Amino acid sequence: MTKNKIIPYQPYLKDLARRLRKNSTLSEILLWEQIKGRRLGYQFHRQVPMDCYIVDFYCHELMLAIEIDGSSHDYEEAIQLDFERQKRLESFGVNFLRFDDLDVKHSIEYVINSILDYINELGHPPSPPSRGESQ
């Protein structure tokens, strides 16, 4: 598995990803505030196009996608689509962490600790931000 691998994507997704970034959900904003600017030792990006999908957050170095699932993901059809989407992206070597929208809103410390635990399990302990990078 090659780190920093760029997953090709459908060109039409670029504009959609931009619109999604401009119209983030509260949970996306809350998590972004915690992980932007290498605050966890790695660079994450928001609304990243991959293949024919867009993931909420992605770290190229770790090939780690983070998804926030709101109530729209509670239905059987949505669960099946999420499963198929995740399996497809995993075939490119992408790892996934999924969090419930309410966990992000009410237990952000749990979410951040879960991400850090996962990074450590991968054998990639977070490095401190370099000089000039905000914490």
Return the CATH number at 38. Answer: 3.40.960.10
Residue 129, in any domain of the structure: no
Is 70 exceeded by the pLDDT of residue 61? Answer: yes
Domain count, the chain: 1
Asked which of 5-14, 23-32, 67-76 is least confident by mean pLDDT, the reply is 67-76
Residue 124 above 80 pLDDT? no
* pLDDT band with cut points at 50, 70 and 90 for residue 79: confident
Residue-level pLDDT at 53: 96
Residue 4 included in any domain: no
Q: What is the pLDDT of residues 27-48, one digit of tens each?
A: 999 999 999 999 999 999 999 9
Range of the domain at 31: 13-121
Q: Decide if 126 contacts 42 (C-beta within 8 A).
A: yes
Q: Is residue 64 part of a domain?
A: yes
Residue 55 scores a pLDDT above 90: yes
Residue 46, domain member (yes or no): yes
Phi, psi angle pair for 82, to nearest 5°: -60, -40
Position 132 pLDDT exceeds 60: no
Q: Is residue 6 part of a domain?
A: no
DSSP 71: G
Q: Is residue 2 part of a domain?
A: no
- 87 occurs within a structural domain: yes
Q: Could you tell me which of 73, 56, 53 has the C-alpha nearest to residue 65? A: 56
3-state class (DSSP) for residue 72: helix
In a domain, 103, yes or no: yes
Average pLDDT for the chain: 88
Reply yes or no on whether the pLDDT at 2 is more than 50. no
| 8 Å CB contact between 133 and 37 | yes
Q: Which two tokens stand for residue 9?
A: 């994507």
